[in-house]
Amino acid sequence: MPPKKKTERRGEELEREYVIPLRASQHQPSRRRRAGHAVETVRRFVVRHMKGQPEDVWIDPRLNEHLWERGIQHIPSYVRVKAIRFEDGLIEVDLLAAD
């Protein structure tokens, strides 16, 4: 499923919504590393699409809890997020509520 995005600009802030596929995180790492790999997948996706640095990405605790909700082995297939890049370069990634 290709990522969907919605763009909105407020001053120097850039706000977008993405659907991040996590299927590769279910098959690539060993069973005991899946949730951590999913968190890193989200970070890499946001860095690539929001043109930032990995150390500037802040992942909301709700998103982290959603990825770890069913344990380390059973992660979701995809996750809907809202990413906001502020003018100082910080990128905030929040979980979008299910519709």
For each of the domains in the chain, give its residue range(s) and CATH number, in order of start: 7-95 (3.10.440.10)
Calpha distance 33→48 (Å, rounded): 22
Q: Closest Cα partner for 91 from 59, 64, 48? A: 59
- pLDDT mean over 46-68: 96
The pLDDT, as a whole number, for residue 2 is: 62
Calpha distance 46→44 (Å, rounded): 6
Tally of residues, the chain: 99
- pLDDT mean over 36-44: 96
Pair 29, 16: CB distance under 8 Å? no
Indicate the pLDDT class of residue 1, thresholds 50, 70 and 90: low
The pLDDT, as a whole number, for residue 85 is: 96
Predicted TM-score (pTM) of the model is 0.86
Indicate the pLDDT class of residue 9, thresholds 50, 70 and 90: low
Residue with tokens 């706000």, as numbered in its chain: 15
Flag whether pLDDT at 56 surpasses 80: yes
- pLDDT mean over 13-33: 93
